[in-house]
Structure 1
Amino acid sequence: MKLIVDGIIENLQDNGGCTVYFAQILSFMQNNKIDLNYIRFKDTQGHIPLFGENTQVNFQAPKWQERWRDVNLQQVTNDTVFHSTHYRLAKQKVKTVTTVHDFTYELYRKGPAKWMHSWQKFRAIRNSHLVICVSQNTADDLMKFCPIDPSKIRVVYNGVSSDYYPLDNTEQTNEVVFIGARGWYKNFTLAVQTLKHQPDLTLSIVGGGKLSDEELQLLEATIPGRYEWLGRLTDEQLNKLYNRAHCLFYPSSYEGFGIPVIEAMRSGCPVIAVNVSSIPEVAGSAAILTQQADVASFNQAFSTLDNQQVRSDIIQEGFQQASRFSWEKCYQDTLAVYQELDAISL
């Protein structure tokens, strides 16, 4: 089998979730000396490591509107498998797999951005021989928004880095962690409003870009002096934060998977989240899940976490739940999809 990967994602985001996904899978592939042909475009940050004697890098200059174009492959053979990092198809006839992470555009965006994204995504899904979904919830959403033959769908869960683990002798703080994007369904405003009723706790905000003027006004008006934007953290820094924090507060109303939930659990950090989309699938019974995304429900969850026995039980269950997920397992399951495609005839 020869795998060709279209690396366009490196031109579309700065080390976001999709980039991490492919970086992890391809690192395992290269360590296992599987033939990889990677298409890398100029002006990328190079967040996907490429190495090894079995890896060939095909450097290309991006054309105008490159992200929407089909990919022109070279030297396609009967054992070639094609995987785009962002919903693109090949010009040539080739065995194709597409990974679908979520349906946030379809649920929360409007106008041309949504139309173009959905057109490209649905076209890739319908013309792929197999489709990987990162959770059963994403697979269910796929069948709602872009129905295909269910036999083409493979659920392969995301992993979690081994850089997240409990540290010895960590002094606990009153920090509540909010991580990632803050717009739309992420419910950042609800998180801030909830902290207003938790005067002994502070809000540590990770990633998501600098705080906007509107967000700063909200924070100053609601929890003045009890918040800090920490910027982007390394895995090591984030692990330390999880270890010392009171909890991860993840009030999102929709997630294709929700990697921070597993990161926190693996670090021994309790999780408060909402019982929607993929969250219950990923968190299991190892988190405090609210039935609604509202201040009253979240405050009740914080009150529940104040019980030290509940807190201890949640942390221990979190370790067990997190052990179900790893990037190595994600790689092995993805490799099985590639091998399944390799065995078919076009």
Structure 2
Amino acid sequence: MCLDARPTLPKEAGVNPTARRRRVVGLDLSSEPVRSTGVGRYAVALCRALAELDPPDVRFVAFGPRGLGLQEVPGLEVVATPFGEGRSAARRAFQQTALPALARARGVELLHSVNNLPPLGWPESLVLTFQDAKLYRAAAGAPLPRRFYRRSMHRWGARRARRVLVASEYSKREAVRALGVAPHRVRVVPFGVEAERFAPSEATERSDPAVLARHHLNSGTYVLSVATREPAKNLPRVLRAFASLASRRSDIELVLCGGRGWGGDDLEALSARLGIAQRVRFLGYVADEDLPALYRSARAFLFPSLVEGFGLPILEAMAAGTPVVTSTATACPETAGGAAVLVDPADVVDIARGLAEALEPERAADLRARGLARASQCTWRRCAEGTLACYREAIAERSGGGRRVHVTSLLSPAGFYDGAEGGASRDRALVEHLGRVPGARVHYLARDRRYPLRLARFLYALARERGACFYLQYPRLPATLRTRGLPRRLLREAFLLALRRAAARNRVLVDVSDLPVEQAESLGLELPRDEAQAFREFEASLAELPVETVFAAEAMARYAQRARGLDPARGRIALNGAPRASVRSAEAGERTPATLRLVYAGTLRRGCGLEELLDAFAAVRRPAQLVLLGSDGEWLRGALDERVRLVGGREEAEAHRLAGACHLGLVPYDPSLPYLRLVYPIKASFYWSAGLPVLSTPLPEVEARIASGAAGRCLPLSEWPAWIDALGAEELAALEAQARARAADFTWERTLADLLASLGGPARGANRTTRRVPPRAADGA
């Protein structure tokens, strides 16, 4: 065994005089083989990009095998570890036994494990990268002992880590569900790609023929697939799809690159049975320096993976200007960003269809342009900046500085991403953003098996803390205060007593996103008498206590001040927002659409205005399509005409992408209902953040946003058909441009910026949607 520490000099000559004051972050690459896969390429590229940032407050020490090529990176101290060429078991054994002592000897304060599994013997602060959820899905086909070992280690490491890094929103949801990690400790930091290394140039045009000759390939004659031979990569279906296409396309062959993993099928035998053995090339593991040439010379790149945490080969192919065909599953659509042909990975016919589409000359040229634009957005520098921000959060949390912040959530960690109703979306956003404040602690008060313990901890903190900040998410909190063995009345009295004590010694903010009693009365909902009484008592206490209130709408704030006697000087507005997503680009839709696409995103339950919306749409005469996004719409199946497309429920990011492909977002609420005149519909922010103009009924809060520059129109539902029929191409283009220009203003990042800054977190630029309640005359319900 040989250990070799070779610190390199900083970029400037001499020794940095502040080096001793810089925090030391270690990057654990000791489990990575020299013949790296996608995870290894991520780890090496991240180390290089972090060293290039050269932050004044942090220095980096990398622990990994010599063959990774990090020894010559300026500004990076490298400690060589053994077994780079050996079996993974030897590398894991070294990581678990020797690495912790080695890191402590180098003064490491924060250790970043880049590949899921941290060292058991590391007692200090930890950051963990969760690569994907292969071992939690049957499709991955991992052996049982391997699954058990890795699942146990993943859960142990994730729960110990101060921050868990993931590369996609899909991976974040999987980390929360599979590992049980608190959602506010998970950060999405997308991977990057070295665009200059993969992009065509004069130098590469001279060098590529040599690489192709070495592998006995000809440029432009093959479809490429780069994947380790594992069940999750779906390679048997790749062969079957190519076989179905090969009979119609004699001008192409299939090239498979990737080393052997675990549980892989005998692909050579399968290709022989399919009769395509002469047209399939198995190159095995290909060195990193050869991959760009193989990408650039391919006609198309095929990657219909079943499970991916990110899918780095997708970006690499796009950076090389190669049309990409990838999966609709897991993180692949998120990584593709609308620049690839998406196929069902379980459907061989659909995979063949998508590949044939990507080989068509016009479609290939379009995919090439979109892919190059997408790849240019994803850089390793951005990845390094996001990772460095997480390091700083973890270091600040370890230092224990700043005011403690307690945030309540009515969701459970395991079910954090279940449910898409407005209340759950606001709950998720507040937890994810306020949980970033150094010293933040989130109390998950969903009624699961751990509820009594969590409730006791929350009430204890409420009664005992001094000089802290509490952010309470009302209205559901009083109604959920119940546990076995204690009368609900007694528990509520204990809560109000603890709240009074906390308000006298801490800063307390109460998020009033709904008024449950008025909501039930106006919308005809059933509200148990004891719950209604609990809500009234809690709201009455707000006027008596020195607490601040945060409302989701100005009209609701003014009504609550009049009806509840709240002090307007202690109220503020934080509009409902939507997840950050890519704003629809100008070329994403047709300038003069042959068919106008309208979208409604929300609950599809009966009695929520959907029947009236369908009647209004039926009166539209121009070519149009109505897309229905939401759950509880089974009653609609078989009752819709061919112009209405029922998509059903989707994950938030996927719903955002589908909505962004339409032209108008619809808000068909009945403005005659008193309660609906008080609320700001979260779907308005959902549409605007997707770059869509809004067509709404005359709701005061939506009218106020449109008057302040948001894109849309407010008209009675009876006037919608005539307005839609008269909507011209120029007016639609102007509305879409206006919506895209203001899209970022309606994301949660923007709407909560001032609130986050006031609690001690980072403000993200100017904010137009979080402000004090204006002292105007109170509005009646």
TM-score by structure 1 length?
0.87
Deviations 1:48-96 (A, max 9, x none): 513467544456778993444582342587x822212342146464222
Q: Report SS of the residue matched to 2:152.
A: helix
Is 1:95 aligned to 2:148, yes or no? Answer: no
What is the CA-CA distance between 1:290 and the residue it aligns to? Answer: 1.2
Show the counterpart of 2:28: 6
Is 1:270 aligned to 2:270, yes or no? Answer: no
What is the CA-CA distance between 1:135 and the residue it aligns to? Answer: 1.2
Show the counterpart of 1:178: 225
Out of 91, 116, 137, the position equivalent to 2:170 is: 137
Is 1:65 aligned to 2:93, yes or no? Answer: yes
Q: Report SS of the residue matched to 1:328.
A: helix
Show the counterpart of 1:22: 43
What is the CA-CA distance between 1:243 and the residue it aligns to? Answer: 2.0
Bigger relative contact order, structure 1 or 2 (CA pairs below 8 A, ≥6 apart): 1
Show the counterpart of 1:206: 257
Out of 135, 141, 147, the position equivalent to 2:180 is: 147
Moved more, 172-181 or 136-145: 172-181
1: CA distance, partners of 2:194 / 2:355: 27
1: CA distance, partners of 2:74 / 2:313: 34
Q: Report SS of the residue matched to 1:237.
A: helix
Cα distance change of structure 1 residues 76 and 197 upon mapping to structure 2, 3 Å threshold: closer
Looking at secondary structure, tell me which structure has more helix per residue.
Answer: 2
Where structure 2 has 5 or more consecutive residues not aligned to the other structure, the ranges are 1-22, 83-89, 209-217, 401-781
Superposition RMSD on alpha carbons, in Å?
A: 2.9
Out of 117, 129, 141, the position equivalent to 2:150 is: 117
C-alpha contact (below 8 Å) 2:66/2:81 kept by paired residues: no
Q: Report SS of the residue matched to 1:228.
A: strand
What is the CA-CA distance between 1:280 and the residue it aligns to? Answer: 0.4
C-alpha contact (below 8 Å) 1:27/1:50 kept by paired residues: no
> What pairs up with 1:1-346 in 2 under 5 angstroms?
1-10=23-32, 14-33=35-54, 35-40=59-64, 44-51=65-72, 55-58=76-79, 65-69=93-97, 71-72=100-101, 73-74=103-104, 80-86=109-115, 87-89=117-119, 91=121, 93-107=123-137, 108=140, 109-162=142-195, 163-167=197-201, 173-199=220-246, 200=250, 201-209=252-260, 214-222=266-274, 223-344=276-397, 345-346=399-400
Cα distance change of structure 1 residues 94 and 343 upon mapping to structure 2, 3 Å threshold: same
Cα distance change of structure 1 residues 159 and 60 upon mapping to structure 2, 3 Å threshold: closer
What is the CA-CA distance between 1:328 and the residue it aligns to? Answer: 1.5
Cα distance change of structure 1 residues 228 and 335 upon mapping to structure 2, 3 Å threshold: same
C-alpha contact (below 8 Å) 1:164/1:236 kept by paired residues: no
C-alpha contact (below 8 Å) 2:47/2:62 kept by paired residues: no
C-alpha contact (below 8 Å) 2:234/2:345 kept by paired residues: no
The residue type paired with residue 140 of structure 1 is R
Cα distance change of structure 1 residues 90 and 50 upon mapping to structure 2, 3 Å threshold: farther
What is the CA-CA distance between 1:296 and the residue it aligns to? Answer: 0.9
1: CA distance, partners of 2:41 / 2:92: 26
2: CA distance, partners of 1:273 / 1:182: 17
Cα distance change of structure 1 residues 178 and 315 upon mapping to structure 2, 3 Å threshold: same
2: CA distance, partners of 1:110 / 1:64: 18
2: CA distance, partners of 1:271 / 1:110: 31
Cα distance change of structure 1 residues 187 and 271 upon mapping to structure 2, 3 Å threshold: same
The residue type paired with residue 183 of structure 1 is E
C-alpha contact (below 8 Å) 2:256/2:281 kept by paired residues: yes
2: CA distance, partners of 1:213 / 1:138: 26
The residue type paired with residue 172 of structure 2 is A
1: CA distance, partners of 2:335 / 2:265: 34
1: CA distance, partners of 2:316 / 2:394: 31
C-alpha contact (below 8 Å) 1:22/1:48 kept by paired residues: no
Number of residues paired by the alignment? Answer: 340
Which protein has the larger Cα radius of gyration, Structure 1 or Structure 2? 2
2: CA distance, partners of 1:65 / 1:176: 39
The residue type paired with residue 159 of structure 2 is R
2: CA distance, partners of 1:216 / 1:4: 42
Q: Report SS of the residue matched to 1:314.
A: helix
What is the CA-CA distance between 1:219 and the residue it aligns to? Answer: 1.7
Cα distance change of structure 1 residues 31 and 303 upon mapping to structure 2, 3 Å threshold: closer
C-alpha contact (below 8 Å) 2:45/2:380 kept by paired residues: yes
TM-score by structure 2 length?
0.41
The share of aligned pairs that are identical, in percent, is 23
C-alpha contact (below 8 Å) 1:5/1:38 kept by paired residues: yes
C-alpha contact (below 8 Å) 1:14/1:45 kept by paired residues: no
2: CA distance, partners of 1:160 / 1:64: 28
The residue type paired with residue 61 of structure 2 is N
Where structure 1 has 5 or more consecutive residues not aligned to the other structure, the ranges are none
The residue type paired with residue 65 of structure 1 is A
Q: Report SS of the residue matched to 1:245.
A: coil
